[in-house]
Chains A and B, each alone.
Chain A
Amino acid sequence: MLLISCPYCETERPEIEFRHAGQAHVARAADPSAVSDEAWTEFLYFRDNVKGLAYERWRHVYGCGRFFNCARDTVSDKIFATYKAGEPRPNVETEAAP
């Protein structure tokens, strides 16, 4: 069970209050009809599926209901930072190195 700090509620809550929502910072094209099939396929389905430091979205479904982002190591499951949607990804590379 992860303990996740919601950046909106500013409290640390158990994982079951949240829902994982996949890779973060996947931007939807402003004009989907203008992008190629390949780019649209990448957007819809292809993911980095990183082993190591990953940036991902979570939603505090049983709290404030808002989406936010999280930097987590997918091997140790250690969470380095959570931050609000729209904020740039924090630089935690140095911390994540073994």
Chain B
Amino acid sequence: MRFHLFNLLQQAFAGNQGWPPQWRAPEPKPAYDVVIIGAGGHGLATAYYLAKEHGLSNVAVIDKGWLGGGNTGRNTTILRSNYLWEESEAIYEHSLKIWEGLTRELNYNVMYSPRGVMMLAHNAHEVQTFKRHVHANRLAGVDNEWLSPEEAQAFCPILNISKSIRYPIVGAALQRRGGTARHDAVAWGYARGASLRGVDIIQNCEATGIRRDASGAVAGVETTRGFIATKKIGVVAAGHTSVVMSMAGVRMPLESYPLQALVSEPIAPIIPCVVMSNTIHAYMSQSDKGELVIGAGTDAYTSYSQTGGLHIATHTLDAICELFPTVRRLRMMRNWGGIVDCTPDRSPIIGKTPVPGLFVNCGWGTGGFKATPGSGDVFAHTVATGEPHPIAAPFSLDRFRTGRLIDEAAAAGVAH
């Protein structure tokens, strides 16, 4: 079924009771060509591109919970591509370009909104690093521009540019093509697209072991719903990557931290863009429902608790109240945590592993949502062909041995 004006109107008059399920709920088959572990945005996008670009439809995506229920449903939905290094610019820009046409491609409204992402500078060091980013980005054809405090306030009128606050704003870097998208819709859109192309999405099916043959290569996945034979496994398990990889005896250069976010009560539109501040660990935008969506920092210690410390959220709200004094009386409705897998260089790992047939896409840390389409695209290529996509090649697991790290300090400041 495709969405179009006629069936939208028809359903609107019928009380929206007649929509068919958007994806199938199949029983697991005994064997697949590829099994993706993790039905978040990245895993579902991988399955979608495996089917669409590489003709592999005998694919299963398994998840221990429901699809999009992990970090895909817990992030603050920010999209941008203004990273420093060429390798990062390539993958995040690849992703942003897919975002721009994704709603049409999926025939599913992902609510991509290029409202502009503004990163605030509060001291001389940040002015220098952000200007360096602006220049590096412009050389790479990625839009990014430098704003004075007055220009920043013109772009976001509720911003407090007083010189008497604790961390005065001395400038800002603005990527106008950056913005937000609807996090659930991305998972649902890719799930629907993949399911239509024959991919089996199997929810409530936890991987409990990875079986290897005599040569050491992948032979299948043990799950809570039985054994599934396969020659290729793609692990896209975010914060639980180390846990899944340990089933195949592979250690990873990852540490998992809780990262939390919170939303306010819904109000009329007051903030037309996304504002981020690395120095004081706060970022804010407004959802289409009217809630202010606020991202806080990671906890100081590794944990799988999926909750963050209250003092971390309090610290962020202190900063939010100083940057945007007008929101001081708002009540916060909900806060929650997700588990983010951080690499030593704050860049992702996409590619092969020491185990034949086992591929991994992880290490997106605090900023993976923006990369969802591009990550799925290059990882699907990597899994299908057995060799890394040119954009994914620098992000190999092997870079920690060779020393060719991609030290990406432009990842969200919360990761530092």
Contacts and interface: CB of A to CB of B under 8 A. Distances in A.
Given A1-B310, A47-B254, A49-B254, A19 B240 contact: no
A45 B300 contact: no
Contacts of A54: 302
Interface in A12-45: 15-16, 18-20, 22, 37-38, 41-42, 44-45
Q: Of B242, B255, B300, B301, which is in contact with the most chain A CB atoms at under 10 Å from its CB?
A: B301
Interface residues of B, number: 22
B242 A16 contact: no
B301 A2 contact: yes
B401 A37 contact: yes
B390 interface: no
A76 to B, nearest CB: 7
Contact of B311 (A1, A22, A50, A75): A1
A45 B344 CA distance: 7
Contacts of A1: 309-311
B401 A22 contact: no
B19 interface: no
Interface string B233-253: 000000010110000000111
A42 B251 CA distance: 9
Interface string B283-301: 0000000000000000011
A1 B255 CA distance: 19
A70 B240 CA distance: 22
Contacts of A76: 305
A36 B220 CA distance: 32
A46 interface: yes
Contacts of B240: 51
A46 B253 contact: yes
Nearest to A18: B300
B75 to A, nearest CB: 20
B302 A74 contact: yes
A50 B239 CA distance: 11
A59 B61 CA distance: 42
A31 B240 CA distance: 34
Contacts, number: 68
Nearest to A50: B242
Contacts of A16: 311
A49 B255 contact: yes
A95 interface: no
A76 B310 CA distance: 15
Interface string B339-367: 00100100000000000000000000000
A49 B238 CA distance: 13
Contact of A47 (B243, B255, B305): B255
Contacts of A50: 242
Contacts of A74: 256, 302-305
B359 to A, nearest CB: 18
A65 B255 CA distance: 24
A48 interface: yes
Given A45-B253, A47-B251, A38 B305 contact: no
B252 A22 contact: no
A44 B242 CA distance: 16
B57 to A, nearest CB: 33
B401 A48 contact: no
A49 B252 contact: yes
A31 to B, nearest CB: 19
Nearest to B253: A45
A13 to B, nearest CB: 14
Contacts of B252: 46-47, 49
Contact of B251 (A37, A48, A56): A48
Contacts of A56: 301-302
A38 B301 contact: no
A1 B401 CA distance: 36
Interface in B386-415: 400-401
Contacts of A2: 301, 309
Nearest to B240: A51
A51 B253 CA distance: 15
Contact of A49 (B302, B309, B310, B311): B302
10 contacts: A1-B309, A15-B301, A15-B309, A20-B301, A38-B401, A42-B251, A44-B400, A46-B251, A47-B252, A51-B242
